[in-house]
Amino acid sequence: MLRKIEEHFGPVSRGDALDFGCGVGRLSIPLAKEFNRVTGLDVSRAMLEEASKNLAERRIDNVDLVESDDVLSRLGDKRFNFIHTYIVLQHISAKRGYVIVRNLLRHLASGGTFFIHVCCRRNLPLVRELVYFCKTKIPGGYILFNMLQGKKISEPVMEGNEYDVGTLLKVFQEAGFEDVMTKLENRSNCLTASFYSKKD
Model confidence over 172-192: pLDDT tens digits? 999 999 999 999 998 778 899
Q: Please say whether the beta carbons of 71 and 103 come within 8 A.
A: yes
Q: What is the rounded CA–CA span in Å between residue 181 and residue 116?
A: 11
Q: Domain limits of the chain?
A: 2-123+159-198
Model confidence over 75-104: pLDDT tens digits? 999 999 999 999 999 999 999 999 999 999
Collapse the DSSP code of 82 into the 3-class scheme (helix H, G, I; strand E, B; otherwise coil) and give the result.
strand
Confidence of residue 194 (pLDDT cuts 50, 70, 90): very high
Q: Rounded to two decimals, what is the model's pTM?
A: 0.87
Considering all CA atoms of the chain, what is the largest pairwise distance in Å, rounded to the nearest integer? 53
Topology of the domain covering 2-123+159-198: Rossmann fold (3.40.50)
Q: Identify the pLDDT of residue 189.
A: 81
Model confidence over 136-154: pLDDT tens digits? 677 776 666 666 777 777 7
- Which residue spans within the chain are E strands per DSSP? 16-20, 37-42, 63-67, 80-85, 108-122, 181-186, 190-198
Q: Identify the pLDDT of residue 17.
A: 98
